[in-house]
Structure 1
């Protein structure tokens, strides 16, 4: 803070400085987004030339936007002090009202999002039961179907499977947003689980050939089988969606004493280096894959359970 010179009036200069910072604090407290301070005309006669420069420097250093500093006759000073103080009080009140309105709108939006997620969870649970029953009935009918009907039934089963994957993704998205991702870990034979998911993904109309490379012996892992199955389903669905018809999609399972690696490989167009991290973002789609239908949720939803399960 500058010191008053002997040629001025120290008391009035100090009072002027105090008012500058008091008004700045008033605006700052009213709203963190408001950083505007009027250095009003009344300060000109109270502060000398060096004092006015110091005031401008202090305001700029504090991150305040200086809108102006005018020189006026001393006789107008009192009126301008009152006008400027009233203007700043109005600005502070308006800023506080705007901030309160923004907070209310945010709370309302969050409440609507919670209601939407609750509806999504409820609707998804209601849909899951009939879809599961339809899948079981179709699998039973396929067990005794002739060759001609088997191909038709297998295609229908694939579409049911794809619908179940979409439904599970909707549920998972709601869980991710709400922060409720329960994990139920126990010993799982990963090879057997992967084999089941590969079998469930067979029979798409595009004629993809699914193959599995895995250890001959059981490969156990303490994990959540439902979440791991969802990850595999999403990876297989992506591979089938983005690879040419009648090409191979190969799943590889490899194990070491400390890790199990699951890889899904296809003959698709690949992923550009600049997209490799961003494809896991919500709603992001790689530039070379936007001609295929989708909304960009599959890999985002896939990464979340992998992270929760301690994988990468």
Structure 2
């Protein structure tokens, strides 16, 4: 394709030069002959002898035009080659860099050409390579984290089974319960990863209908109130209606995650407040806790897959709950954000959805 473009550029430049030269020679011959004939007639009418200078000019004019035309063609050819090289050089660099990126060398960068149009293309390819590198890094990290998450329950199950086979332990409800718990943990991990994958690929099935997120929040709080009572943490539900259009089951899944996360990070005697409301364009639910808070540098990372806040106290957390929650909210056309005034000041998670009266 590159050689074809090179030939087209050369041929187009030469074609333009040839047309220009042909027009120049043709017009020069016609105009020159007309002017010389008029000059001869004027001299003859005045009784003057024929102008030998005019005859000489008439005899050499075709040769001058032809030689000049050939020189113009040669000059145009040289210029066409130089211009083509100036265009094809950066294109060749872009092509070579694209090939290396396609082969997996995402660190490859395209030299920035001087032409603004080609520079824009090079910038776009560099941006593509950067995004591919990030995607590959996330994929590798995901594989490592999934393997890590699976290793613990599999090790527990394997150890329990080997202990039973070797008759190190007696079969009984305690052993069976431990194996069942770890199997359930694996099942939840698989389900969470499936939900996350479908949400990020925008293939998640949503059964949307007009709802009030305040009612969804109240139902979630009612379901989880017993857990709060056992933990010695106060749970308050406040605010007004929040009309929207969404899947109540999926939004409840989001709020269960947020409220459960708040409970896990709030110690005995603390408080979690669930507040709902709406404005002219959005309906929202916020979950605020009086827990240890989140450091500013952690706020941008807590929604990453498998990321855990250092020294997080939530037992058994897999680090993908908030990622799933944000993906589900985004599937509804909304946003999920986190805010904290810093360590020791608690945290607030806010889900915002398009208002739907």
TM-score range, shorter chain: 0.3 to 0.5
- Give TM-score, length-normalised by structure 1: 0.45
**Bigger-Rg structure (1/2):** 2
- Give TM-score, length-normalised by structure 2: 0.40
